[in-house]
């Protein structure tokens, strides 16, 4: 039973446009949400996160939105750049779980020049 779901395995976007990556979760105990970026043959690197007490967190071109009632979060990248092409993993964690993240299956983003 997947507690964190990324239903789109891939996304293709034109350079300069907005990329929107979606993530849904089922466990209402999750109180912290993270996005990781992964290039081929490398480990994931932390990108941005959001606490459940917020509904938006912004860091440069990256913004994460959280809709707790819908148990949904999204990562917006604007403007998208070819270097953003990677696999993006959504993760969620809870204090009760010692903040060990549960990961989604990932979405492969391709940004075309």
Partner 1 sequence: GAVVSQHPSRVICKSGTSVKIECRSLDFQATTMFWYRQFPKQSLMLMATSNEGSKATYEQGVEKDKFLINHASLTLSTLTVTSAHPEDSSFYICSATLPHHAWGPQDYGYTFGSGTRLTVV
Site of interaction with partner 1 (CB under 8 A): 9, 32, 34, 36, 41-46, 48-49, 57, 87, 89, 93, 98-101, 103-106, 108
**CB contact set of 53 (below 8 Å; sequence gap of 6+):** none
Considering the complex, state which of residue 42 and residue 113 has its C-beta at the smaller distance from partner 1. 42
Measured between alpha carbons, how far is 22 from 72 in angstroms, rounded to an integer? 7
Considering the complex, state which of residue 32 and residue 65 has its C-beta at the smaller distance from partner 1. 32
Length of the chain: 113
Q: How far is the CB of 78 from partner 1 (least distance, A)?
A: 20
- The CA radius of gyration of the chain, in Å to the nearest whole number, is 13
Q: How far is the CB of 98 from partner 1 (least distance, A)?
A: 8
* Other CB atoms within 10 Å distance of the CB of residue 47: 18
Considering the complex, state which of residue 37 and residue 111 has its C-beta at the smaller distance from partner 1. 37
């Amino acid at each position: 039973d997947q507690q964190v779901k990324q239903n789109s395995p891939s996304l293709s976007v034109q350079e300069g446009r907005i990329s929107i990556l979606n993530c849904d979760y089922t466990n209402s105990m999750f109180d912290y949400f993270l996005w990781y970026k992964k290039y081929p043959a490398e480990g994931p690197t932390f990108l941005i996160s959001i606490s459940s007490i917020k509904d938006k967190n912004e860091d440069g071109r990256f913004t994460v939105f959280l809709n707790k009632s819908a148990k949904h979060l999204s990562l917006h990248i604007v403007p998208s750049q070819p270097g953003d092409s990677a696999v993006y993993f959504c993760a969620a964690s809870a204090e009760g779980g010692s903040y060990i993240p549960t990961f989604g299956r990932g979405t492969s983003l391709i940004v075309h020049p």
